[in-house]
Structure 1
Amino acid sequence: MNDVDPVALSIFLFFFLLVTILGFLAARWRKAETLDNLDEWGLGGRSFGTFVAWFLIGGDIYTAYTFIAVPALLYAGNATGFFAVPYTIILYPIIFIFLPRLWSVSHRRSYVTPADFVQGRFDSRGLSLAIAFTGILATLPYIALQLVGIQAVLDVMGLGGGEDASWFRKDVPLFVAFALLAAYTYSSGLRAPALIAFVKDTLIYLVIIVAVIYLPTQLGGWSGIFDSAGKAFDSFNKDSADAIASGEARPKGLIPGLGVSQWAYATLSLGSALALFMYPHSVTAVLSTKNRNIIRRNAALLPAYSFLLGLLALLGIAAVAAGIQVKNPQLAIPQLFEQEFSPWFAGVAFAAIVIGAFVPAAIMSIAAANLWTRNIYKAFLNPGATDAQEAKQSKLASLLVKFGALLFVLALPKDFAINLQLLGGIWILQTLPAIVIGLYTRWFHRYALIAGWAVGMAWGTIAAYNTEVVGDPGSHFGGSVAPLEVLGIHISDNLIYFGLTALVLNLIVAAVGTVICRVLDVDAGTDDTHPTDYLADAGDPEVVDRLDPLSTPPVD
């Protein structure tokens, strides 16, 4: 790889040290009497307003890997990479509808995790365990992918040393970065990523806006960029015609292909939109807000990030036009910044990507730790755990989660982490019936929901496992879309997102199972929630005393 540029490295280290200091100081920001409870350590005191929540939720959703992976798809000639733009657009009306209800019932009943809600709603420790297990399982590879994004930056900066470098040079910088992240997350809880998110989002907005204005001036304008990229893709398609015809390679283009690819684009967009706020870290960020109207305001304001994401995707096309040549598309954007910008601005861009990993990684580890503490440790191992014991368990679990993800990335091929993340989206989507539908009706039987979850998890995992990598016969986990087949029966050539078809099977099994359970008069358990819980707001009975007693109840 390239030698280390002292200017870029100095700028990078400045911002890295800045966010490290902010991470430790965050324990004093909105200071509470104690952080030895999950409401304070794991949810920031449930006190964040619209401004803080906008940065926190945005920083939670738009990660370092988004910064790397979305333009990497376009750089590789896969125009379906633009699916991320429509899916974030249709996402926000969905969360506008259901997340305020989850906020209300969680605040009224002191729920910290989505599995807490499921336990209270359906009176099923087994279903709650399934939701917690799925959340942790889907979150771990997501954290690992943040490390993949950091590694890409370190490699381009020269700190990684390349593939032939010693393990010390390759791995120690990454280890040090995550050790500091683990330390200030342990100390400050959710306040740390909330405070760092201000720096992260400001840098990312600055870098992307400058890039989309400056790069066209160097590459013949946007028309010249698209023309150059189109010629590069056409040349590849011509030179690789035989490989494309035999299925060993995919054609490249600026526009998704007609027919089967359109279904892949549509179902991946819809499935991803339904899945994103099923992730426990997304729910954690939402539950940290101080009233339900903040969620609605953010659902209206967060599409600004969708605009940013569209601009970000264009950088993949710019990398092609700039002649960036890398075997690993994940390196394309860092390499673009190093080649086309002055060292000081490249340092700013590198810092933005790395800090963009710290914020979501911290929230993800906290969310996974809360699931462990509330829905496994307290539910099965220590039912009488005190608030302080819960907080201690979450702090320790957050450390184990981070370093587990670190070892995962260091010990296994990067493609393995990426493939598991594809599975993570399929898995987390299977929690939608219990969480989202459960917010509106208790018609589904608890045992039927468990059966539906198991079928959806199994079918989605098997379908992903059986998908081969293009050009590598006999391989597995080659993607998250494939021609529609059920039980070995070919139904359609259209490429369909596995997560969505697994969810449909999940719902069918849950519905049929519910009818059977009702016919057999199987006990459905007791609902601990009340209809008024789903409309409660700050200032209502049993809600205001769980927030800051010195704060003024919000005025609608």
Structure 2
Amino acid sequence: MELQVTELVITTVLFLIVAVMGFMASRWKAGDTMHNLDEWGLGGRQFGTWVTWFLVGGDLYTAYTFVAVPALLFGAGAMGFFAVPYATITYPMVFLVLIRLWSVSHVNGFVTTADFVKARFGSRTMALLCAITGIVATMPYIALQLVGVQAVLTAMGVEGGLPLLIAFIVLALYTYNSGLRAPALIAFVKDILIYIVIIVAIIYIPSQLGGWGAIFGAAKENFDSRPQPGPNILLGQPQYLQYMTLALGSSLALMLYPHASTAILAARSRNTIKRNMALLPAYSLMLGFLTLLGYMALAAGVQPVGGDANTIVPMLFEQQFSDWFAGIAFAAIAIGALVPAAVMSIAASNTFTRNIYKEYFRPNATDKEETTAAKIVSLVVKFGAVAFILLLDPTYAIDLQLVGGIIILTTLPAVGLGLLTAWFHRGALIAGWVASTIVSLVMLYQIPGPVRPDGSQKQHFGGSAYPLANLGFDTKVTIWVGFVTTIVGVVVSVVGTMILRAMKVPGGVDSTRKRDYYYDPSDEPTPEAVSAARHEQTLDQLHGRDEHTR
């Protein structure tokens, strides 16, 4: 493609602005030192409602939202809409579980979910498994952000991997310097740009394509012209189960990712999280409009560059917008990928440093040494994510996120259910993790990839939709592997716990307390209230009164 100079200049300028903000963020809301994980990795645990809203939104609505979901709608039809109910049902679950994680972590000084698992079930082994799983599941998610940036560069006619490498080096450096404060500050710019682009897109592009009726009509005509059975404007009956399990399973997975808990633990209070769970569904409305960009691309006759479906949104903007506004849109997508990539790398490095490096290699590491190790790991994680792209070679970038979701769901009994109950036996949780991991790998191995334009096809690890025909059923119905992962993990953990408790096998000791899960600083009495209570107690003592005679 021809190099789009105007778009490249605007995107570069906006990228440099946020890079400067990233480096300057180390002074924003700074504590006495950056040499501990609370400050570097959790922003001092002091973010209020608005900062948390932008940070969590910037963390959860990623290149997955801007590139992968519309690309799935473009190529697979109505199945791509699974992301809308998935996002909608996520927040009640987060409200139920992650506010408890915030409270118990604040009281006990936990930095990661693996810290919590170790304390809850008295199991270093289960904590280690959760830490490893969290890091591995995060890697393909970071790789998805890389795919988003690459799609933008491709649409601008930028060739070679050097520009992408430079972008990630800059990201790595300001993350190393400023920690979680960098993406928290940049998230403001990212979200403002995204909202501007989406508002313009949903008004301007339909007006150029003849309205929404014409857009849906063109999408249906395009799907009908493809070999059948194939994608359609409506779900076919064989897709129902896949759609439901994908939406429900993805919502369960989201709260288990290290980057989700990192953003939550950085909040100032329990009430801050409650307010955010009420406000964040506004992003789901944006997600619905973003998803429709896939149908707009079909109506506009957009052709993906080199057959790469991930380029359809950038190419749609390239065709429909003026050069200068397309540059703003490209910058929004690129920055929208770099913000979550920063949070994810910080979350993965926090997990490695606290639960592997310090736990097994340097138990006596100082806060400064622990933070330095986390900074170094955050650099390694970003570039290690590239290996997932080379390994999986997904036709749709969304497969990177879906595979990560399958991996992280193996920790659901220990983390998700563990926040609700300490009933599970640590041995059963380990058995559940092993069983669900083996089942996931076997099922993913058996899934072939789609046929490429050149006629080739990947025979293994080609997606996440498992055909029930592989189990002997005479049907075309598929199911999301992650849903099976969840069922296997929970069933084995429950049955294993019943067996081990019946055999009176000693379990771990829960070092958390019931009241820890409800703690909020706002519940603590103010200094004035404490002073008044002490004054009243003194008067009672002088007058010989007690609580029974008041």
TM-score in terms of structure 1 length:
0.90
Matched with 1:527 is 510
Kept in 1, the 8 Å contact 2:15–2:331? The answer is: yes
Indicate how the Cα distance of structure 1 residues 207 and 362 shifts in structure 2: closer, same or farther if over 3 A, else same.
Answer: same
1:528 counterpart letter in structure 2: S
Contact 1:86 1:269 in 2 (8 A): yes
Structure 1 counterpart of 2:183, one-letter code: P
The equivalent position to 1:496 in structure 2, one of 455, 476, 479, is 479
Report if the CA contact (8 A) 2:52-2:267 is conserved: yes
After superposition, the C-alpha distances for 1:238-289 in whole angstroms (9 at most, x for unaligned) are: xx3xxx4xxxxx51211111x2211111110000011001000000000000
Taking the aligned partners of 1:340 and 1:278, their CA distance within structure 2 comes to 38
After TM superposition, give the deviation of residue 65 of structure 1 in Å: 2.9
Q: 1:489 to 1:379 in 2, by over 3 A?
A: farther
Residue 532 of structure 2: aligned partner: none
Contact 1:171/1:410, CA 8 A, preserved across alignment: no
Letter in 1 for 2:161: D
What does residue 460 of structure 2 align with?
A: 476
Aligned length: 521
1:319 aligns with 2:302: no
Q: Does the CA contact (< 8 Å) of 2:41 and 2:350 recur in 1?
A: yes
Which deviations, in whole Å up to 9, do the C-alpha atoms of 1:212-254 show, x marking residues without a partner? 1001111101111111222222222xxx3xxx4xxxxx51211
Equivalent residue number for residue 40 of structure 1: 39
- Are positions 1:339 and 2:298 aligned together? no
Secondary structure of the equivalent of 2:88? helix
The structure-2 alpha-carbon separation of the partners of 1:485 and 1:324, relative to structure 1 and needing over 3 Å to count, comes to closer
Match of 2:283 among 305, 329, 345: 305
RMSD: 2.0
* Aligned AA (2:267): T
Instruction: Read off the aligned partner of 1:433 and give its amino acid letter.
Output: P
**1:218 match:** 208
Q: Residue type of the partner of 2:278?
A: A
Pair 1:95-2:78 in alignment: no
1:149-548 alignment, distance < 5 Å: 149-159=148-158, 161=159, 170-236=160-226, 240=227, 244=228, 251-257=230-236, 259-326=237-304, 327-406=307-386, 409=389, 413=393, 415=395, 419-471=399-451, 475-484=459-468, 488=471, 490=473, 494-538=477-521
Question: 1:420 offset after TM fit, Å?
Answer: 4.8
State the secondary structure of the residue aligned to 1:402: helix
**CA–CA separation in structure 2 for the residues paired with 1:411 and 1:428:** 19
Change (3 A) 1:379 1:485: farther
1:327-372 superposed Cα distances (whole Å, 9 cap, x missing partner):
2211111001011110000000100000011110000000000110
CA contact (8 A) 2:144 2:400 kept: no
Partners of 2:286 and 2:400 in 1: how far apart?
26
Structure 1 residues 407, 91: CA separation in 2 closer, same or farther (over 3 Å shift)? closer
Q: Would you say the 8 A contact 1:141–1:418 is kept in 2?
A: no
**1:91-130 superposed matches below 5 A:** 91-130=90-129
Deviations 1:278-326 (A, max 9, x none): 0000000000001011111111110111000000011110001101112
Distance 1:542 1:459 in 2: 51
Percent sequence identity is 54
- CA contact 1:38–1:387 (8 Å) conserved in 2: yes
1:474-528 Cα shifts (integer Å, max 9, x gaps): 7112321223479x45497532211111111111111111122112221112111
- Residue matched to 2:22: 23
Compared CA separation, residues 178 and 414, structure 1 to 2 (3 A):
farther
Q: Which has the larger radius of gyration?
A: 2
TM-score, scaled to structure 2: 0.91
Aligned-pair CA distance for 1:415: 4.8
Amino acid at match of 2:233: L
Query: Aligned partners of 2:8 and 2:186: how far apart in 1?
Result: 20
In 1, distance between residues paired with 2:390 and 2:473?
Answer: 39
Code of the aligned partner of 2:518: L
Kindly tell me: are residues 25 and 473 of structure 1, through their superposed partners in 2, closer, same or farther at Cα, counting changes over 3 Å? Answer: closer
Cα distance 1:482–1:358, how it changes in 2: closer, same or farther (>3 A)? Answer: same
Structure 1, residues 78-132: CA drift from partner, whole Å, max 9, x if none?
Answer: 2110000001001111111111111000000000000000000001010000100
Uncovered stretches (5+) of structure 2, i.e. residues with no partner: 528-550
Q: Is the 8 A contact 1:537 1:543 kept in 2?
A: no
The question of whether the paired residues in 1 share the 8 Å contact of 2:394 and 2:462 is answered with no
Q: Is the 8 A contact 1:106 1:117 kept in 2?
A: yes
Conserved in 2, the CA contact under 8 Å of 1:108 and 1:542? no
Q: Which moved more, 1:221-230 or 1:359-368?
A: 221-230
Runs of 4+ in structure 1 over 3 Å off? 406-421, 470-474, 483-486, 488-494, 539-544
Inter-partner Cα distance in structure 1 for 2:475 and 2:127:
35
Give the distance between the partners of 2:292 and 2:397, measured in 1 at CA.
Answer: 25
* One-letter code aligned to 1:86: P
C-alpha contact 1:55 1:198 (8 A) present in aligned 2? yes
- Distance of 1:157 and 1:493 partners within structure 2: 40
Inter-partner Cα distance in structure 2 for 1:113 and 1:99 = 12
Equivalent position amino acid for 1:324 in 2: V
What are the within-5 Å matches in structure 2 for residues 50-69 of structure 1?
Answer: 50-69=49-68
Structure 1 Cα separation of the partners of residues 176 and 467 of structure 2 = 45
- Is contact 1:85–1:310 with CA below 8 Å preserved after alignment? yes
Q: Which runs of 5+ in 1 are unaligned?
A: 162-169, 245-249, 545-556
